Amino acid sequence: MRYLLSLLLLSTYLFAIISEPVHSKITAINEDEQIISISPIAGAQVGMYGIIVQHFTDAHATALSWIEVTEIQAERISAKMIPIYALEQSALPTGTWTAKIGDEVILGYNYHRALLIAPNLGMYKKVTGYHKDKKWVHPDIFTTVLSSHGHPSPLQEDFQYTCRANNIGLVSFLFDKSIITVDCQSFKIVQNKSTSITIDETQLPFYTRVANIEANWFGDGSDEMTEYSPYYVSLLAESNPNNEWIQTYQKVLESEKEDESWFSSWFSSVKVINEADQDTLEDD
């Protein structure tokens, strides 16, 4: 069973991913549910974030709202509107503009900027060096956020805070044979790519040049990480509970733990005879 699960795991599901922002128009609006419809876009995935832009003139426009893709059909894409809290400023007047049919939608906003979570420097260099189409934000920036939050074990909100502050659209997690990429705000998986990379060395919580992350006394994220892959797979499962890759990976990890537990239990039951015992037995 263990080897069967491993085989299934390596047969990952590949999705095309939008690498540059793509543009569309609002075709319908449900004001009550704050849902918009836009024309189909190649490469769109459920969970992708974008923005609604309202143009006043050819030279003047404003960002009205974030959107998150919730449904993709042949004739349309549905997305829910989410307020842009980062633009709040109590000292300035606020506009009363609302989205309307014909407003521009930019999907995959900031998808050209990404954060890579890798288990060691060698693998970090290999992935970032190969995928030069992305602007890779160094993980040391993320580590400074974790230090200020007191979280040696990264939480989803730590990623989201870092991405908002640094205009990062994607986070990629490197595992054995796979790179899982999520939209940083929704934390939904938007790409699963097979690789030939195998983890041979692990730095916790991930590759960073920062030697130590100060921890809070208590609370979520304050515990030190003890394992790389199980932790991040569990973190991804919070927003992707029905993802088949996640479910299979978790079964593989559970199977490996059961094998280790069985071996440890069996080995501990074996009586170890030291030299003194051996001499006693021989005398008898």
Considering the four listed CATH numbers 3.40.50.2300, 3.40.50.10420, 2.40.30.20, 3.90.105.10, the one that applies to the domain covering 22-107 is: 2.40.30.20
Residue ranges, the chain, pLDDT below 70: 1-19, 86-94, 259-284
Give the pLDDT confidence score for residue 86 in this predicted structure: 65
- Which residue, 65, 159, 57, 58, is CA-closest to 106? 65
Phi, psi angle pair for 105, to nearest 5°: -120, 130
Q: Do domains 22-107 and 111-254 have the same CATH topology?
A: no
Give residue-wise pLDDT tens across range 233-252.
999 999 999 999 999 988 88
Cα distances (Å, whole numbers) of residue 249 to 32, 203, 244: 39, 20, 8
Topology classification of domain 111-254: Rossmann fold (3.40.50)
Q: Where are the domains of the chain?
A: 22-107, 111-254
Could you tell me if 205 and 140 are in contact, meaning their C-beta atoms sit under 8 angstroms apart?
A: no
Instruction: Note if the pTM is more than 0.85.
Output: no
Q: Let me know: does 181 contact 131? Beta carbons within 8 Å.
A: no
Q: Is the dihedral of CA 204, 210, 215, 221 positive or negative?
A: negative
pLDDT, tens digit, 9 for 90 and up, residues 23-32: 999 999 999 9
Whole-angstrom Cα distance, residue 199 to residue 119? 7
- Given this model, what pLDDT does residue 21 score? 84
| Confidence (pLDDT) at 109 | 84
